[in-house]
Amino acid sequence: MDRKKILMVDDEEDILKVLRFRLEANDYEVLTASDGQEGLNKARSEKPDLVILDLMLPKLDGYKVCRMLKFDEAYKSIPIIIFTAKAQRKDEELGMEMGADAYISKPFEPEILLAKIKELLSKQG
């Protein structure tokens, strides 16, 4: 069974560390990027099985990254979880309009995030 590859795009080093630890403990391969442009480039070059995407990022914000991946035939099937401190209803609605598959606000429960990752990856077949 191939390990699923997850790309995390977040500019907060602490969050990347915590998440990487949790995800690797659950047998996922983890890639990270700390700004939107790097995240977009890595998503295109690595073709991860799933992307966890912060919204407030340097260079390109998460909405743009999400839209650029979801409007591209080659990448639109990659599930994207928006993972952000922006917990307003309008932020969530905009995220969904950009094509996000899920929206989880920080601070977060790791179990909720892990369950959502499993659910989205199981839909991929």
pLDDT the model gives residue 106: 83
Please write the tens of the pLDDT for every residue from 66-92. 999 999 999 999 999 998 887 788 988
pLDDT the model gives residue 103: 93
pLDDT the model gives residue 91: 86
pLDDT the model gives residue 1: 58
pLDDT the model gives residue 86: 76
**Percent of the chain having pLDDT more than 90?**
80
Q: What is the torsional sign of CA 119, 21, 16, 74?
A: negative
Fold held by 5-123: Rossmann fold (3.40.50)
- DSSP H or E run through 30: strand 29-33
DSSP assignments along 40-107, one per residue:
HHHHHHH--SEEEE-SS-SSS-HHHHHHHHHTSTTTTTS-EEEEES---HHHHHHHHHTT-SEEEESS
pLDDT the model gives residue 124: 75
Ordered by start, the domain boundaries in the chain are: 5-123
Range 58-62, long-range pairs (CB < 8 A, 24+ positions): 58/11, 58/34, 59/35, 60/35, 60/36, 61/36, 62/9, 62/36, 62/95
- Are 56 and 84 in contact by the 8 Å Cβ rule? The answer is yes
How much is the pTM? Answer: 0.94
Please write the tens of the pLDDT for every residue from 85-120. 877 889 889 988 999 999 998 887 888 999 999 999
Q: Rounded mean pLDDT of 11-34?
A: 95
